[in-house]
Amino acid sequence: MKLYSTKIFRNILLAGMSIYLIASCRSTYPTTTDNFTVNYKTADIKHGKALVMNSCGGCHYNHKVGRLIGQPMNDLPKIAGHVYSANLTNSREYSPVPKYSDAELAYLLHTGIKRDGHFVPYMLRPNISDADLKDIIAYLRSGEGAVAATDTSVGHTHLNFIGKLGMHFAGKPLPYRTNVPQPANQIEEGRYLVDNIGCFHCHSKKLTALNYMHPEETRGYLAGGAKLKKPNGDVIHGPNITMDRETGIGKYTKEDFRQAVLHMKGPHGDKLQPPMEAFHLREKECDAIYAYIKTLPPKYHHVKGHNEMEEEHGH
């Protein structure tokens, strides 16, 4: 009788926990009341395009059509469901961009809260400056090139219970920062870019353990190890990009670094592997990242699949 009662209690407890978790996953958050607006006459659309391609392109740019129409996000385990990145063109039917106000777009990028109050634990850029944010929004609304209206959808996101549970524990909305300034010097600019174009996402220990507010506090910051997927589904690990001479990029010259970041070429002329892509950066911005990384302590960390290849090249 006691065993039977224990089973009933356990089942009730599990059911209660399930109801609580499902309810939690459905919770919403307050949306913006800010009056953030973009002056489309003074915004730098060309700069906004570079920022969008660097920060958003990895997930939203579809190489088959050359537009930001979204694509399947294969890094999510299949057991959790299916995720597709959004269409960010000017399509009024398929894209959320025309439906959002300037303030709602800014709030989403800073906090992760959508206009309906739901939280999404990605696309987070809490430390991006107001000026850059305005250039990004101006480009997204420009209708030029990759954001020209394209009425199509690559698929619909569907998360099962496991996926929703994972999203619930993936994080909480971030604070909404206003009047965020531009970096004041080269080192600050390098740190800013590592944060806002997402270098530390792929080059730290784990994609699910990123500290968006304080990137340097992320586990294994820039020392590599994050598990990523190539377009063909093969697994690759983000390399160590600290200045350790044996396991990182300590032997890279400034020109080597430029070639890697701007042209996807290694020090021996070999092509770097996806999901790494050539960044839309000016040489001075690339140099700022290099200068910033040089200020960080080198971290000795062998990353599977990278150092072995370098040894074959004699690097």
Q: Does residue 102 contact residue 38 with C-beta atoms inside 8 Å?
A: yes
CB-based burial, 207-238: b 16+ in 10 Å, e otherwise: eeebebeebeebebbbbbbbebeeeeeeebbb
Beta partners for residue 50, in sequence order:
none
pLDDT at 123 over 90: no
Neighbouring residues of 67: CB distance < 8 A, sequence distance ≥ 6: 61, 89, 146, 147, 148, 150
% of the chain residues with pLDDT over 90: 68
Mean pLDDT of 245-259: 97
Give pTM, 2 decimals. 0.86
How far apart (Å, rounded) are the C-alpha atoms in residues 193 and 188? 9
Lowest mean pLDDT among 57-71, 85-99, 119-133, 162-176: 162-176
If you average pLDDT over every residue of the chain, what do you get? 87
Mean pLDDT of 272-286: 93
Query: Band of the pLDDT at 2, cuts 50, 70, 90?
Result: very low
Mean pLDDT of 114-136: 94
C-alpha closest to that of 109 among 98, 119, 95, 123: 123
Q: Does residue 141 contact residue 40 with C-beta atoms inside 8 Å?
A: yes
pLDDT at 171: 74
The two three-digit tokens of residue 85, written as one number: 């990145």
Mean pLDDT of 242-254: 97
Measuring CA to CA, how many Å separate 70 from each of 58, 146, 187, 194? Answer: 10, 11, 33, 23
Mean pLDDT of 109-136: 94
C-alpha closest to that of 59 among 157, 145, 141: 157
Query: Band of the pLDDT at 307, cuts 50, 70, 90?
Result: low
Residue with tokens 């987070």: 124
Query: Band of the pLDDT at 308, cuts 50, 70, 90?
Result: very low
pLDDT at 93 over 90: yes
Measuring CA to CA, how many Å separate 1 from each of 9, 12, 25, 69, 171? Answer: 12, 17, 36, 60, 42
Query: Band of the pLDDT at 35, cuts 50, 70, 90?
Result: very high
**Surface-to-core class of residue 303, CB atoms within 10 Å of its CB (0-12 exposed, 13-18 middle, 19+ buried):** buried
